[in-house]
A = this chain, B = another copy of it.
Amino acid sequence: MNDTTINSSQLGANSLVERAKRNQHRFWAFSGLIFLVIGFSLASPNFFQTSNIISILQATSVNGVLAIAATLVIITAGIDLSVGTLMTFCAVVAGVLLTNLGLPMYIGIPGALLSGFLAGALSGFFVAKLNIPPFIATLGMMLVYKGLSLAICGGRPIYFNDTEGFVDISTGSIIGHIIPAFPIPNGVLILFLVAIFASFILTRTILGRFIFALGSNEEALRLSGVNTDRWKIVVYSLAGGICAIAGILLASRINSAQPAIGQGYELDAIAAVVIGGTSLSGGKGTMLGTIIGALIISVVANGLRILSVPQEWQIVVTGSIIILAVYADQLRRGKT
């Protein structure tokens, strides 16, 4: 069995290389982030200061949570264009429950989360049962949630002035109570909790295993006797629930449900996902990567503003960074 031994040692080496590469990927995205932070810090003394770092983190919170939702769907080789308007829709639902109906937070917030789950389940149903490509199903739902949000609100925002403590959900700081030097807002804390939760789901649970398998080879999974339709619906529901969390973070931060916001956020979220190394063709991805991707976007936006780069050039630079990040990733994987 001479040949086998040789083969397997080769393969062993292979897999080590693979693993190194995989870690290297995160390492690279992370180095990119560090590089940007150092660059901006050198360019302006105003950049690397506790308050600004906290601002950057806070600016990441909503987009980061949306990107987490998008990551789950993208790993299944799907895509979710509705994350932005669904976020708004859930914020509006929270507004209706808390303000218009005057219900307490312990009903209003779970209610909003539930609406996110159900909305996600509907997209999942379209994708799994009606066989509608995710791009189309979620493009359609993006418009539906947008219209519904406007219709429910009658065009005006719903304010949360009557719900005590609502603004603290995102802007209060539990950490600041403990370590006053780092008044990291709860919104950021929630982002990291959601990321850890999603990462746990991805790597340690049956659902996570199936998310990767759906993205790698859905038919093989189905022929293994797994009810792929049902699991797909579960994934989209979970993503919907996470969008609802983003909706509550947003609403709490601006103390209102603004029906006009939301469209366009999906592109930022998807950009964060791909900068973080998750492939749009599915089967691969990490939450850590997505968080790094979201941070890169925020750091670039913040840094360029601090350097007073005109806004039109900020847009150009952001577009270029998206392309560059993915190109660097391709280079590393040796695909070019």
Contacts and interface: CB of A to CB of B under 8 A. Distances in A.
Interface of A: 126, 129-133, 135-137, 139-144, 146-148, 150-151, 155, 263-264, 267, 270-271, 274, 279-281, 310-323, 326-327, 330, 335-336
A144 B129 CA distance: 38
A193 to B, nearest CB: 29
A43 B136 CA distance: 29
A322 B280 contact: no
A133 B281 CA distance: 9
A270 B139 CA distance: 10
Contacts of A144: 315-316, 319-320
Q: Is the interface of A mostly helix, strand, loop or mixed?
A: helix
B274 A323 contact: no
A141 B321 CA distance: 10
Contacts of A130: 327, 330, 336
B319 A151 contact: no
Nearest to A149: B312
A139 B274 CA distance: 11
A312 B151 contact: yes
A326 B133 contact: yes
Contacts of A315: 143-144, 146-147, 150
B316 A280 contact: no
B141 A319 contact: yes
A10 to B, nearest CB: 25
Report how many copies the assembly holds.
2
B280 A131 contact: no
B147 A319 contact: yes
Contacts of A155: 312
A77 to B, nearest CB: 11
B135 A280 contact: yes
A311, A315, A321, most chain B CB atoms within 10 A: A315
A151 B330 contact: no
A136 B319 CA distance: 9
A278 to B, nearest CB: 11
A330 B136 CA distance: 12
A323 B147 contact: no
Contact of A140 (B132, B150, B320): B320
B140 A323 contact: yes
Contacts of A336: 129-131
A124 to B, nearest CB: 13
22 contacts: A129-B336, A130-B330, A131-B335, A133-B279, A133-B326, A135-B270, A135-B280, A136-B274, A136-B323, A140-B323, A143-B318, A144-B316, A144-B320, A146-B312, A146-B315, A146-B319, A147-B317, A148-B316, A150-B311, A150-B312, A151-B312, A151-B313
A322 B147 contact: no
